[in-house]
Amino acid sequence: MKTRLRLLYFSILVCCILGLSNKTYAQLTYSQDFEIDEGGWSDDDFFAFYFFPCTGENALTAEMYSDPDAGDFFAPVTISSSLGTSNGLQATLTYSYSLIDWNTFEGVTNSPDWGEFTIEYSSSQSGPWTNLQTINPSNHVESDDCAVKTVTFTPPVGPVYMRITATPNASLLTDVLINIDNFSVVQTLEACTGTPAASSAVADQPLLCNGSIVNLSLSPAYAASGLIYQWQSSPDGISYTNVPTGGTSATYTTSQAASMWYRANISCGAGTPVTSTPVHVINSGMPCLCDVTFTDDIEPITHVEFAGIDNTSPAAINGTPGVESFTNLPPAQVTPGETYEITLEGNTNDPDGEGGYETYFSVFFDWNQDGDFEDDSEKYDIDFIVFSDGEDGVQATGGIEVPAGALPGLTYMRVFKLFNTFPDAACGDEFGYGQVEDYLVNVAAPSTETLDYVNLQWPATMTFTAGGSDTAYAQAWEGGVTEAPGAGAGITAWIGISPAGSNTNPNTWTTWIPATFNTQAGNNDEYMAVIGAGLTPGTYYYASRFQLNGGPYTYGGYTPTGGGYWDGTTNISGVLTVTCATTAPVADAAQTLCQGSTIADIDITGTMITWYNAATGGTALPASTVLTDGTTYHASATAGGCESVARTPVTVDITVTPAPTADETTQTFCNAAGLEDLEVDGDGEIMWYIAQTGGTALPGNTVLANNTTYYASQSIDGCESIARTGIMVNITSSAIPTGDAVQEIEVDSADDATIEDIEVTATGTINWYDSEENAEAGEDALEEGTVLTNGTYYATQTIDGCESAPFAVTVSVTLGNDEFDAASFMYHPNPVKDVLTLLYAKNISSIEVYNIVGQKVIVKSVNQNEAQLDMSQLSAGTYMVKVMGDTSSKTIKVVKQ
């Protein structure tokens, strides 16, 4: 998306429609409370939003923010649609506003400095702008509620637009919501006196399509109260009658079935009236075009140049309507069958080199005059532009070929500019970022004029090698046109070339090269064209073609005495022969390649190599052809579309690399064995695959899978064996020992606990380790009689030479004592969530808690027969709680939730 405002994530966008604004032609009486939507104000930065309305449901809201550390800065701007037409008298602006801290949702205070916002007005959406009021920390009303501001000003006669700009303090971290509500501009009227001054009737559309509406007004508008208006109409501009309904206000809206003149009588009360200058509104008789709706910025078309149209329009973003009609301009003049260049410019909204917004131009023509642009050949995709402000000369250009069947007369041209893509159609809703401009085009009636004489002058034949070319000449004569020096007016000439080997009527040919004027040959004009470039070897035919003032084509043929109209018997086509000079490619005549090599692996130098099984003739071999030993292959080269006649022979010697061998094709391993454990014999580099043919070589660190066959090839001197040797793998896995993962071992004071005191169940040989790393590696097993300390030990078992994965046992060694009375000891709850309660008939001197890896995590002195042990800070798991009396102790296992 092109918009950047973060507030978008919290709002729902709706289509922009005109809200509650009130336009008049005589004074400003504008009011807007933003209850429905943005009310015609541009909505890239500001939105009708429900967070902080002053009254009702919504306010016009934007977010201004600055983060100097992140280099982030956003100053939202919104511009109104026209508020109406000023009468030149004093106007009063009234609005409500609030500033809300985005993080706290409280009113913004004036310290630190949050920035400012300004309200300006102009007679154009593109400015220049005049400041009406600036709100900053010097005059901002600190409040969670809205403040009301009033400003008076005197806008000149004409349309009035407003702009609001909010600018945060760029040097501080600032994030503020600005809310505008109850925005109104009201202008007073003075009472009229005497006879009103003269004015002119004005139409918003001087040219009407079928069924369209025209809005009539007076210019200059009257700025007084008490005036009486009466609009009149006339079909001839001479005899006027009052319009049948309405027509008694400063403006008049109507439709018409035929061209009509309009004027208005204006009086002050019962005083003498004055009659406006009339306006002529013409009915074009053409259908009205479908509409286009843009829901995002209007990024305007700024210049259109085509067949006599040369129109420049404003470049400001949102400064013009989404669909703009220039059908009042003189139409473009085109002729069927001709091609005209079109040049287009526009504002891409990224002139500063940021964004990279590509804007695409398409042009639509209603060639069959049916009121739409949906027929074949009515859409032309031109090109795209980027990084343009619309006034820097960045252009999209293209050619418009007018169809030979285009209907004569006036028709529509629609220029469509759209962000990121060519439009699919000329009409529709909810387009984003672009604009449409409509124009008229006048299609000339086809001419019936032909030239009195045409020929193919010279030469009769041409011969050159592929990639070459030559010049052909043709002459034409038309009485009163070609006798004077220089090219005769209205003459267009071509030299055409037939398809290879086809000596047919030139009117069936499709390749025509424009010819240029060469010289004056008596009363004839002579034209010339360079032909033949890009042709492949073969025989072709050529003739001339002429056209006078866009009329029918006439074709010229050759005779040694001067030629004339082509007839295929007397006046004939010239003959063009293209020969081939491409040399054969270069290669060693004998080459050694690996088994499985293809024709594409042969080493040869040349352009566009083609291989055959024979020195001449035959069919080209596919590049995937597998080479066979002792066979001779033949290669040609092609350049400029020309294949060499000679072919280069190459005889191939195929090297066959044998597959590696293996003593055992079924091999057994312990778990975690890898490719490096497989046993094969070979003289080259061994490569392993999961398939007998094809596939990708396996990485060297691949772990072997049980009951899987692996296939080995070998590579010697760069040639890999096609055959592969298969090895079936059996994986033997030893089961992991079992037992209690947490064990308490009691010993007498005179004895030590040893590794043999840990109880596990296993059928193989047990090995103990003091770390998981050693156990997994099978290294540094503990010796028999190793004395235990509190901690975790790891047991494996070995069966048939395969050692299992480790089993972890956490050990707590305690001093046994018959004096601890287990019958008089209680504890609860278990599992425990927060506090463990312990009760003993004798004194509890202290408590120690160990985690599963033997670390002491809690020590608590008690010295009473009841204890509360807080275990809430411990993570979930199993713990050993050692309860010590005065002369004895007991260890219990507790689960912490």
Instruction: Report residue 602 CA to chain centroid gap.
Output: 44
CA distance 112 to 399: 60
| pTM of the predicted protein model | 0.40
* Burial classification of residue 58, based on how many CB atoms lie within 10 Å of its CB (0-12 exposed, 13-18 middle, 19 or more buried): buried
Q: Is residue 706 part of a domain?
A: yes
Instruction: Give CA angle at 125 (122, 129), nearest 5°.
Output: 35
User: For 530-540, what is each residue's pLDDT tens digit?
Assistant: 999 988 888 99
Asked if 259 contacts 282 with a C-beta cutoff of 8 angstroms, the reply is: yes
Which CATH number belongs to the domain containing residue 159 in this structure? 2.60.120.260
**Cα three-residue angle 114-115-116, rounded to 5 degrees:** 130
Q: What is the pLDDT of residue 748?
A: 67
**Is the same domain home to 137 and 160?**
yes
Domain end, chosen from 553, 579, 605, is at: 579
For 775, the enclosing helix (H) or strand (E) is helix 772-777
Residue 433 and residue 475 share a domain: no
461/430 same-domain check: no
Measure CA of the first residue to CA of the last residue in the chain; give whole Å.
49
Q: Which residues contact 663 (CB under 8 A, 6 or more apart)?
A: 679, 681
Q: Which residues of the chain have pLDDT under 70?
A: 1-26, 748-751, 815-819, 853
The Cα–Cα gap between 438 and 363 comes to 10
Cα–Cα–Cα angle for 839, 843, 844, nearest 5°?
A: 65
640 to 61, 583, 608, 634, 767: CA distances (angstroms):
66, 12, 10, 21, 79
Shortest CA distance to 824 belongs to which of 878, 866, 868?
Answer: 866
> What is the structure's pLDDT at 819?
64
430 plus 479 within the same structural domain: no
Domain that holds residue 765: 742-813
432 and 500 both lie in a single domain: no
- Assess if residue 162 is contained within a domain: yes
- 148 in helix, strand or coil? strand
Residue range 831-855, pLDDT digits in tens: 999 999 999 888 899 999 988 767 8
Q: How many domains would you assign to the chain?
A: 8
In a domain, 398, yes or no: no
Same-domain check for residues 42 and 181: yes
Please indicate, yes or no, whether residues 302 and 432 belong to a single structural domain of this protein.
yes
Flag whether 512 is in a domain: yes
Q: For 452, list phi and psi in degrees, rounded to 5.
A: -70, -25
Phi/psi of residue 255, each to 5°?
Answer: -120, 165
Q: Of 187, 213, 228, which one is at a domain's C-terminal end? A: 187
Tell me if 819 sits within 8 A of 888, measured CB to CB.
Answer: yes
* Domain-embedded: residue 854: yes
Which stretch of DSSP H or E encloses residue 215?
A: strand 213-219
- Domain with residue 225: its CATH number is 2.60.40.10
Q: Which residues pair with 893 in a beta bridge?
A: 880
* In-domain check, residue 448: no
Indicate whether 386 and 484 sit together in one domain: no
The pLDDT value given to residue 817: 53
The amino acid at residue 588 is: D
Among 573, 583, 584, 725, residue whose Cα is nearest residue 647: 584
Pair (235, 260) in one structural domain? yes
pLDDT at 86 (0 to 100): 86
Cβ atoms of 364 and 381 within 8 Å: the answer is no
CA gap 360, 356 in Å, rounded: 13
Residue 1 lies in a domain: no
pLDDT, position 13: 28
| Both tokens assigned to 643 | 């294949």
Contact 720, 658 (CB under 8 A): no
Q: What is the per-residue pLDDT for 6? A: 34
Tell me whether residue 746 is in a domain.
yes
Could you give phi then psi for residue 761, rounded to 5 degrees? Answer: -110, 125
**371 with 418, same domain?**
yes
Contact predicate 20/40, CB 8 Å: no
Position 498 scores a pLDDT of 96
Length of the chain: 897
d(CA 140, CA 98): 9
Exposure on the CB side of residue 292, measured as CA atoms within 13 A: 29
Checking phi first, is residue 34 left (phi over 0); if not, alpha (psi -120 to 50) or beta?
Answer: left
Read off the CATH number of the domain in which 536 is found: 2.60.40.650
pLDDT given at position 16: 29
* Beta carbons of 526 and 475 less than 8 angstroms apart: yes
pLDDT of residue 204: 83
Pair 37, 112 in one domain: yes
Which of 686, 710, 731 finishes a domain?
A: 731
Residues 568 and 597 in one domain: no
Percentage of residues in the chain having pLDDT higher than 70: 96
